[in-house]
Chain A
Amino acid sequence: MTTTTDDQHSSLQWSPLLSSPFSSLYAKRLLRLVEKVTNGTVIEISLTGTAILVKPGIISGGPVTHDCPLSRSIGYFLEPIIMLAPFSKKPFSLTLRGITTDDKDLSVDLIRTVTLPHLEPFGISDGLELKIKKRGSPPLGGGEVLFLCPIVKKVKTLNFIEPGKIKRIRGIAHAVRVSPQFSNRMIEAARSVLNRYIPDIYLYSDVYKGEEGGKSPGYALSLVAETTTAALHCAEAVSRPGVAPEDISLEATRSLLSEIERGGCVDQKHQTLVLLMMALGSEDVGRCRMAEPTERTVQFLRDVRDTFGTSFKIVPADKLGESPHLLYSCYGTGYINTNRTLA
């Protein structure tokens, strides 16, 4: 086999991990998943759990099934996989089982309606899909999703600097193993706030019954605001014991308003995905206008520099200093998926 490993991360060394010992089950399960979708990857965790040895293989993709632990939702596993999947040898057809919505990671609804469309400007769109077959609420889960991703040879350069204005709002309210009336109550409460802004609001009540609903009761509201330039801002709130559906709904709605107020072309939850694709873009200057980086993004930018040697230029979006937005730009590494030429 002539395919080489991803030479950008081929350095074979023990690297210090997060400051905390690497003992959490879900992190190990994530590495196990990475091993499954690649070929030749070696991952070793030191006895003390504070260092890790990674020897990368090729991203092989294909049909894979993985059971996620109940300590983290499917989103935790799917987010890094979405970053790898377009550069695979074979298109991904990944089945993940576990919790579909929780309060830590993006729910499968947001990944389907917001995360995946973020790949479109980079030339990754045909055949990109996430099917929610079963829902699974914490603590017992029981959900199942199927992630399909096409492969690309290279990533297009992004030039996204016009945030536009919000033209429509979409939402999904789902309720499993509770009264289906709960999703209608959530929708009504969200409308009481959002109706003042625009008429084009469609909030969908997604009811899963019986086996499809998973093993535990739960409900959530996911909201997406789309602008005239196709920028997406999203927010979500998940049921908590003893809190009325109306309050969950208002929490989601107000988070969406905060996200809209922050503005920019990409919301804070998707900064890292977009920045990674920009860094991997063709050898040209990619630009994107976004709000201030989150703590996560700051660490991510440092990791990208250490891994790919690419630094971003981050300057105020307008020189007068009226807008709080920043303009992120970088020179793409011109990454080419060598696997694809063989396929």
Chain B
Amino acid sequence: ASASFKLVRQNKRKDWTTLIYSSSLSPREVVRDEPGTARNEDHKENDQVDDFFTLKATDADADTLDATKEMNPLALHLGKWEGEEALDSIRHLFITGVNDTS
């Protein structure tokens, strides 16, 4: 299972330099793998409702950019650390752990 996971990860590997410097994607779109779909649809809907006023869809972006810590603790998936298996999975990162290289 872990091998197939690695394969997926490899395929999904992004070209960060290009994404950051030569694309017009917003930071959120660069970091998450959802190139702009949600945002663009939002804009279309807004256009149909009203031509003159458009809702600011980027307020959330501004907030995340303004705070150093991750805002929502629930979004951090901390629940996974309740299981022994997850706790053991990072043992190799400590000096006391087995010396495997993964």
- A contacts, CB < 8 Å to B: 18-20, 75, 79, 103-106, 165-167, 193, 196-199, 228, 236-237, 250-251, 253-255, 257-258, 260-261, 263, 269, 292-296, 298-299, 301-302, 305, 311-316, 321-322, 324, 326
Contact = CB atoms under 8 A, between A and B. Distances in A.
A258 B78 contact: yes
Given A298-B30, A299-B65, A165 B9 contact: no
Nearest to A328: B16
B20 A301 contact: yes
Contacts of B65: 18, 295-296, 299
Nearest to B73: A251
A105 B64 CA distance: 11
A253 B61 CA distance: 27
A255 B20 contact: no
B69 A165 contact: no
B73 to A, nearest CB: 6
B38 interface: no
B43 interface: no
A295 B27 contact: yes
Given A19-B59, A253-B81, 16 more contacts: A18-B66, A20-B58, A20-B59, A79-B68, A103-B71, A104-B67, A193-B87, A228-B95, A255-B76, A257-B90, A258-B76, A293-B16, A295-B65, A296-B65, A301-B21, A313-B17
Residue of B67, B68, B90, B93 with most partner-chain A CB within 10 A: B68
Interface residues of B, number: 40
Interface string B1-27: 000001001100100110111000001
Contact of A311 (B21, B27, B58, B90): B21
A254 B87 CA distance: 10
Interface of B: 6, 9-10, 13, 16-17, 19-21, 27-28, 30-31, 56, 58-59, 61-62, 64-69, 71, 73, 76-78, 81, 87, 89-91, 93-97, 102
B91 to A, nearest CB: 7
A311 B87 CA distance: 38
Contact of B62 (A18, A106, A258): A18
A296 B69 CA distance: 10
Q: Which of A105, A314, A316 has the most CB of B within 10 A?
A: A314
Give the interface SS of chain A, mostly helix, strand, loop or mixed.
mixed
Contacts of B76: 254-255, 258
A313 B27 CA distance: 17
B4 to A, nearest CB: 14
A75 B61 CA distance: 20
Contacts of B77: 258
A315 B13 CA distance: 10
A260 B87 contact: no
A264 to B, nearest CB: 11
Q: Which 8 A-B pairs have the closest CB atoms?
A: A295-B27, A298-B27, A314-B16, A254-B78, A19-B58, A104-B67, A254-B81, A321-B10
11 contacts: A18-B65, A104-B68, A196-B87, A251-B73, A251-B78, A258-B81, A261-B90, A302-B20, A314-B16, A315-B16, A321-B10
Contacts of A20: 56, 58-59, 62
Contacts of B89: 261
A79 B48 CA distance: 43
A249 to B, nearest CB: 12
Contacts of B71: 103-104
Contacts of B95: 165-167, 198, 228
